[in-house]
Amino acid sequence: MKEKEELFFELNINGDSITMIPLKIINYNSELSWDNNWIKTQIIIKVGGFKGDYTGEFMVSDFLRFRDELKVLYTNLDSSAKFSGYEGYLEIDIKGDGTGHLNAACVAVERSATLFGSELKFELAFDQTYIPGFIKQLDDIANRFPVIK
């Protein structure tokens, strides 16, 4: 886990992890509020023998939607929660089995290597006791990066 003062979202399951560190709002000087809500984010993947990091861009709403879906998943263990962004840098699709067992199907795409990007697919299994910590991390991100209207 990262230092307490650092802002991050992390799935860390038995040493395998995905960490997203929101770095800053990207200022496109756009008149559209939609374009003023992009966050440059460092993504760190450690799974099995694979380790790497890259940066991606996500909207504030991507983090908020994921947080809200995790809240539903915590109360309805037979549902799902999905993190994804418009640009496709990372997808985390968590599905519950109704008894508290959860599976996260993940796809990480680093786009600077080629036009289409390098892709890593993997899965993480865990239980519902992780969800409150995930929600807290996403609340912290929402507090630091409120939606700009």
The predicted structure's pLDDT at residue 1: 47
- The DSSP annotation for 64-126 comes to HHHHHHHHHHHH-TTSEEEEE-TT-SEEEEEEE-SSSEEEEEEEEEE-SSSSS-EEEEEEEEE
pTM for the full model? Answer: 0.92
The predicted structure's pLDDT at residue 4: 46
pLDDT in tens, the chain (149 residues): 444 468 999 999 999 999 999 999 997 777 777 678 999 999 999 999 999 999 999 999 999 999 999 999 999 999 999 999 998 999 999 999 999 999 999 999 987 655 677 899 999 999 999 999 999 999 999 999 998 88
All domains in the chain, ordered by first residue: 9-144 (2.30.31)
The predicted structure's pLDDT at residue 115: 64
CB-CB contact of 1 with 46 (8 Å): no
Say how far apart CA 124 and CA 27 lie, in whole Å.
Answer: 34
Query: What does DSSP say about strands 9-13 and 38-47: parallel, antiparallel, or unpaired?
Result: unpaired
Q: How many CA atoms lie within 13 A of 92 on its CB side?
A: 24
